[in-house]
Amino acid sequence: MNQIIKFELRDILPEQHAVLQHQGIPKHVNASQTTQALFNNAMEIFTQIAKPLSLLRELSINELDTIFEGEGNNAEDTPLEHIYPKADQLALFALTMGSDISLKIEQLFKDNDFALGSMLDAVASLAADKAAEVCENYFHTHLGKQPDSCVLSYSPGYCGWHISAQKNLFQFLRPGKIGIALNDSYLMIPLKSVSGVLVAGKKEIHFFDNDFPFCNDCKTYSCLVRMKRL
């Protein structure tokens, strides 16, 4: 598989409560009229100008060995290095919400419209997260969706996998095809983009104890949410 995927907006639009929580508003708190209007405006802008695309390319465990090593800056021990050698199939992916969204967010902040800029930023970030889940499901379906298996994504910059691995990932995947570039700090342009590896295998390979040294610096513990989802 070496395929460009165009997302349906309905599949990646985030729910209101998730966007508001991202903005620091608890789920049990009712949004004010002003906040509701900001959310509606941000969703309208996103649906009008977002151009979400993804690129997937299958690879072997040996090929991922080199990509994972990156510049040699990974943590001494990481969850992913124990997970991907047990995979049944692997694929690199990169996805983006498009340059127009990033430019619009940047312009809103330049115009001192921080409220709408922050709301649109949250919508785009969560849409990118949902798009990664769509990629997981797409790859799982492509492989035949075995009931005892699943697909999870892992990205450079998280859980001890150093962000400098982006360089090797980009050289192999070449996501410039869908308009994603990499700067000298290994950050993706447009900013509302995600890249990494899709790991397909039995569910148990994705379980690990979050007692690595870098776990102490984690603010989200999203790994626990992902494992619970399995």
| Total number of domains constituting the chain | 1
Give the tens place of pLDDT for each residue, 1-44: 789 999 999 999 999 999 999 888 887 878 888 999 999 999 99
DSSP string, the chain: -EEEEEPPHHHHPPPHHHHHHHTT--TTSPPPHHHHHHHHHHHHHHHHH---EEEEEEE-HHHHHHHHHTTS-S-SS-HHHHHGGG-SEEEEEEEE--HHHHHHHHHHHHTT-HHHHHHHHHHHHHHHHHHHHHHHHHHHHHTT--TTEEEEEE-TTSTT--GGGHHHHHHHH-GGGGT-EE-TTS-EESSSEEEEEEEEEEGGGG---S-SGGGGG-SS-HHHHHHHH-
- For the segment 172-191, the average pLDDT, to the nearest whole number, is 95
Q: Is the pTM of this model over 0.75?
A: yes
Predicted local distance difference test score (pLDDT) of residue 143: 87
Give the pLDDT confidence score for residue 177 in this predicted structure.
94
Average pLDDT over residues 100-116: 96
Q: What is the CATH number of the domain that holds 171?
A: 3.40.109.40
What range defines the domain where residue 83 resides?
Answer: 2-229
The confidence score (pLDDT) of residue 32 equals 86
Residue pLDDT, tens place only, 145-162: 777 889 999 999 999 999
